[in-house]
Amino acid sequence: MRVAVLDDYQQVAESLADWSGRLPGAETVFFPGHLADRDELVAALEPFDVVVAMRERTAFPREVLRRLPRLRLLVTTGMRNAAVDVAAAAEFGVLVSGTRTHPTGTAELTWAMILGLVRQVAADDAAIRAGGWQQRIAPDLAGDVLGIVGLGRLGAQVAAVGAAFGMDVVAWSPNLTAERAAEGGARLVAKDELFATAKVVTVHMVLADGTRGLVGDAELGAMRPDAYLVNTSRFGLIDEDALRRALATDRPAGVGLDVYDTEPLPDGHWLRAAPRTLLSPHMGYVTDTTYRIFYTDAVEDIEAWRAGAPVRTL
């Protein structure tokens, strides 16, 4: 049996799980680089029976799956992966399994980005390294409004920290009720009120047809000139053209992004030079505990499938 582990950017997958001990006789190959070209991807994976995919870094649409006749098991980290055509996989005889996740990493990074933007940590670091000292007065978050778009598990974690900082936490999503908002530690408001009043807007929605472009010209234009927008969910939730137009004006005051339509972000992409932005290379889930869970469960998935009793199937 041959196993391919894709997109091992940090080259840590081999050390975070017992691949050889639990998969005796299997040959496991770890790919540190991203295989962006579809033909290159297919050529690289043709000899493998099992592929382990890290989140949505590499897509497996019908056309790719059709061209991998030897593939029998596709393991994705997490229990949801929009980049895998699960129906096509079943059609071609490929079982898809997932893994458990760790719920805190993205919420922690969300606050790192919020505080980095509001306190301009990167700019202050650059200034002091260049011989400078205090150059501005920082705004306060206590007593101001934190607007959460999508008050699910992650949104509720972000809300709890906002409350601890003394912020007025408000939330909106299409189906959110006042009762559910209160349970999540927030006060339900209308979408237009949230964008017009919040000092910080943070987005925590699942990307779907109904949520794509959820933050567009109207929402960005309604934001306070001293407000900040953070997206650690999926880039498609924000209309890219609208974001580019907004950053060419004077609002919002800053935008923090951990997610992008194309990843890794291509050289020369306009966001690399965009003003008033804090950019992170999709690090929300990239934590030690999360990766140990991902890869340990991936090995367990392969072991169970090999024994004829697959687990965590999608």
Under DSSP, the state recorded for 78 is S
Flag whether pLDDT at 103 surpasses 90. no
Q: What percent of the chain has pLDDT over 90?
A: 99
Q: Is 274 exposed, middle or buried (0-12, 13-18, 19+ CB in 10 A)?
A: middle
Residue 250 binned pLDDT confidence (cut-offs 50, 70, 90): confident
Cα dihedral 78, 82, 87, 88 sign: negative
Q: Where are the beta strands (DSSP E) in 31-86?
A: 50-53, 73-76
Query: Over the chain, what is the mean pLDDT?
Result: 97
Q: How far apart are CA 84 and CA 65, in angstroms?
A: 9
Question: What sections of 184-264 are H helices per DSSP?
Answer: 191-197, 217-222, 240-247
pLDDT digits (tens, 9 = 90+) for 186-212: 999 999 999 999 999 999 999 999 999
Pairing of strands 27-30, 254-257: unpaired
Query: What pLDDT score was predicted for residue 202?
Result: 98
Question: Cβ(10)–Cβ(35) under 8 Å?
Answer: no
Pairing of strands 2-5, 50-53: parallel
pLDDT, mean of residues 122-149: 96
Q: What percent of the chain has pLDDT over 70?
A: 100
Q: Which two tokens stand for residue 23?
A: 């998969």
Query: What pLDDT score was predicted for residue 179?
Result: 97
pLDDT digits (tens, 9 = 90+) for 70-102: 999 999 999 999 999 999 999 999 999 999 999
Flag whether pLDDT at 164 surpasses 90. yes
Flag whether pLDDT at 65 surpasses 90. yes
Instruction: Supply the residues annotated as catalytic.
Output: 234, 263, 282
pLDDT, mean of residues 277-283: 97
Under DSSP, the state recorded for 172 is E
Q: What are phi and psi of 3, to 5 degrees?
A: -120, 130
Query: What pLDDT score was predicted for residue 47?
Result: 98
Flag whether pLDDT at 218 surpasses 90. yes
Where b means 16+ CB within 10 Å and e means fewer, 150-188 reads bbbebbbbbbebbeebebbbbbbbeebeeebbeebbbeb
What three-state secondary structure class fits 51? strand
Residue 251 binned pLDDT confidence (cut-offs 50, 70, 90): confident
> What pTM value is reported for the model?
0.93
